[in-house]
Amino acid sequence: MSDKTRSDSSTINPMTQAFLKDVLTGFSKTPKSLPPKWFYDDIGAKLFEDICELPEYYLTRTERKILESAAAEIVAALGEDTVLVEFGSGSMSKVRIILDQFTTPKEFVAVDISVEQLAEAAKEIESAYPGLRVFSIAADFTQPFDLPADLDASLRRCVFFPGSTIGNFNPQDAKALLAHMRTAAGPKGRLLIGFDLKKDAAVLEAAYDDAAGVTAAFNKNVLARINRELGGDVNLDAFEHVAFYNDADGRIEMHLKSVGMQSCSIDGHTFHFTDGESIHTENSYKYAIREFEQLAATAGFGLAETWTDSDGKFALLLFDVTNTG
Question: Which domains, ranges and CATH numbers included, belong to the chain?
Answer: 20-36+44-54+215-285 (no CATH), 58-199+288-321 (3.40.50.150)
d(CA 126, CA 132): 7
DSSP state of 203: H
Q: Are 189 and 159 contacting, i.e. CB atoms less than 8 angstroms apart?
A: yes
Q: What pLDDT was estimated at residue 119?
A: 96
d(CA 243, CA 37): 17
Q: What pLDDT was estimated at residue 8?
A: 54
Work out whether strand 190-196 and strand 156-161 pair parallel, antiparallel, or are unpaired: parallel
Q: What pLDDT was estimated at residue 222?
A: 98
Q: What phi and psi, each to the nearest 5 degrees, are found at residue 118? A: -60, -45
Q: What pLDDT was estimated at residue 11?
A: 62
Other beta carbons within 10 Å of 8: 7
d(CA 148, CA 145): 10
DSSP assignment string, 74-117: HHHHH-SSEEEEEET-TT-HHHHHHHTTSSS--EEEEEES-HHH
Blockwise average pLDDT, block size 10, the chain, 325 residues: 44 88 98 95 93 96 98 98 97 97 97 93 97 96 95 97 96 97 96 98 97 98 98 98 98 98 98 98 98 97 98 98 75
Q: Which residues contact 117 (CB under 8 A, 6 or more apart)?
A: 42, 45, 46, 90, 91
d(CA 83, CA 132): 10
Work out whether strand 82-87 and strand 156-161 pair parallel, antiparallel, or are unpaired: parallel
d(CA 35, CA 23): 9
Q: What pLDDT was estimated at residue 168?
A: 93
203, 154, 174, 49: which is closest to 112 by C-alpha?
49
Q: What pLDDT was estimated at residue 2?
A: 31
Q: What pLDDT was estimated at residue 324?
A: 57
pTM, entire model: 0.89
CA atoms within 13 A on the CB side of 219: 25
Q: Which residues of 297-320 are buried (b: 16+ CB within 10 A; e: fewer)?
A: bebbbebebebbbeeebbbbbbbb
